[in-house]
Amino acid sequence: MGQIFPPSANTLFRAAVVLTPLALLGAAYLAYLWTWSDFVTGANRIPAQPVPFSHKHHVSGLGIDCRYCHAAVEKSAFADLPSTHTCMTCHSQIWNQAAILEPVRESFRADKPIPWVRVNDLPGYVYFNHAIHVNKGVGCAVCHGPVDRMPMTWKSRSLYMKWCLDCHRDPAPFLRPREEVFNMEWKPGADGLAQGRELMQRYHIHAERMTDCTLCHR
């Protein structure tokens, strides 16, 4: 009876034994990278807005404080979007004939809100409270990135649960004094970690309680 498999089959079988697990591991790694890619998370993408609002111009250029537009951020679960009346406080006098601001004027005339596209949006099953983060010393830039340098606003972080948990497990590196929360230029000093530990005590932050599932999933 003739030989069924040629001698090269042994080599092919050995290669398959070695390469198949490697291929599976490679595929799993590529899937992991894909899951965390900007394409999936939506990070670093600029959604089209009805009005090309520039945080860079309003915050860095004009020095407008975050709370002027996001008035409820210190006391509400939601940061709140400014009403058209807030926009028109300035734009009834400044650039009041600019074509690019016609959607703002139309919103004001019709008494209908501007249909802004939410940039940082969490799933409905996630509870997030802006006020508690602000009052515990988490700066705007920690979650929203360098908003003061964004001509058009983009999502700066993945907002994945792992990203949130990294902070909840060890919040000290992300904390700052409350009076610096809205300061986009603030930087921690050389003793930033020690300062963060001290702020945890001052603001009664207990990391061991911050990974309870019911904290965010209620």
Q: What average pLDDT does this structure show over 75-84?
A: 90
Bigger pLDDT: 171 or 3? Answer: 171
Give me the pLDDT at residue 17, please: 81
- CA dist 195 and 192 (Å) reads 5
- Assess whether pLDDT exceeds 70 at residue 1: no
- How big is the CA angle at 95 (ends 71 and 146), to the nearest 5 degrees? 45
pTM: 0.83
Question: Looking at this protein, which amino acid is placed at residue 23?
Answer: A
Note whether 141 and 181 are within 8 A (CB). no
Note whether 103 and 114 are within 8 A (CB). yes
The domain spans of the chain are: 8-36, 55-81+116-215
Assign 3 a pLDDT band (cuts: 50, 70, 90): low
- pLDDT digit string (tens) for 92-114? 999 999 999 999 999 999 999 99
Two structure tokens written together for 114: 């501007």
Two structure tokens written together for 89: 């406080």
Report long-range pairs for 198-204 (Cβ below 8 Å, ≥24 apart).
Answer: 199/137, 199/172, 199/175, 200/171, 200/172, 200/175, 203/135, 203/136, 203/137, 203/175, 203/178
